[in-house]
A = this chain, B = another copy of it.
Amino acid sequence: MSVPDAQFHPHATGVAAETVAKHQDPQDVVFWAGWFCPFVQRVWIALEERGIPYQYKEVNPYKKEKHFLDINPKGLVPAVEYQGKALYESLVLLEFLEEAYPSQSTSLFPSDPYDRAIARLWIDHISKNYLPNNWRLTQSQTKEKQDEAREALYEAQRKLVQQVKGPYFFGEKFSIVDAVVAPWIARDWVITENRGYERVAVGEAWVKYAKALCERPSVKKTTSEREHYEPIYGRYLRDEAQSEVAKAVRSGKTLP
């Protein structure tokens, strides 16, 4: 969903590059990805957690393959190609992977319908309260706006962590809620180093939760080397990014 517009590294690096290398063979699921994108990472985490066979394809946002645009005219990543048809939107893809591969042993959803609804409620909270303030904090250029966004982000994280049973959202089992939020926690060094954000300001419970997610193998295996994220997030920090997310945040509109 987010398209970098800096001179950026064209493919995954570090541990993520090893993961990519293991997923080159043709499979029923073709995962059209961008190594840098947090929305992509959500789906990537789910694929790794669930052991679904997939073929990783890096989409160069400036040079999209004809086949990719044929099946997915908007050209958005993450996208999943399945039996020749494409789907997009990270949350839709997460639900799709559950339904197309309904193994209860690897499901990231709890089995009880009430708990599944709780998962969706807190994913909704992340979409509406956590993410917009995280982007706003990153892109804001005045101290006043940064202070406001940082406080709103802390508040959203406090509400979320009150629901976390620990170490993961639903307890011992890593779940869909964890997959949805982990990519932003794995990138919070951006706001820590540049925007005065501190995990400990949310509370000790958040420090523990953030650590548990960052140490999760599926999160590590889908994270590239920090130095290659830096030029991309540098453009967000200077509010020069031209991705759909960046433009929406700048104009105060709903995130795409």
Contact = CB atoms under 8 A, between A and B. Distances in A.
A124 B89 contact: yes
A132 B253 CA distance: 10
A114 B87 contact: yes
A82 interface: yes
Contacts of A92: 117, 120-121, 124
Interface in A53-93: 82-83, 85, 87-89, 91-93
A96 interface: yes
A252 interface: yes
Contacts of A255: 254
A117 B254 CA distance: 22
A116 interface: yes
A252 B248 CA distance: 11
What are the 9 closest A-B residue pairs judged by CB atoms, nearest first?
A99-B113, A96-B117, A100-B113, A92-B120, A87-B117, A252-B252, A254-B254, A92-B117, A92-B121
20 contacts: A87-B114, A87-B121, A88-B121, A89-B124, A91-B120, A91-B124, A92-B124, A95-B120, A96-B113, A96-B114, A96-B116, A96-B117, A99-B113, A99-B117, A100-B113, A128-B254, A128-B256, A252-B252, A252-B253, A254-B254
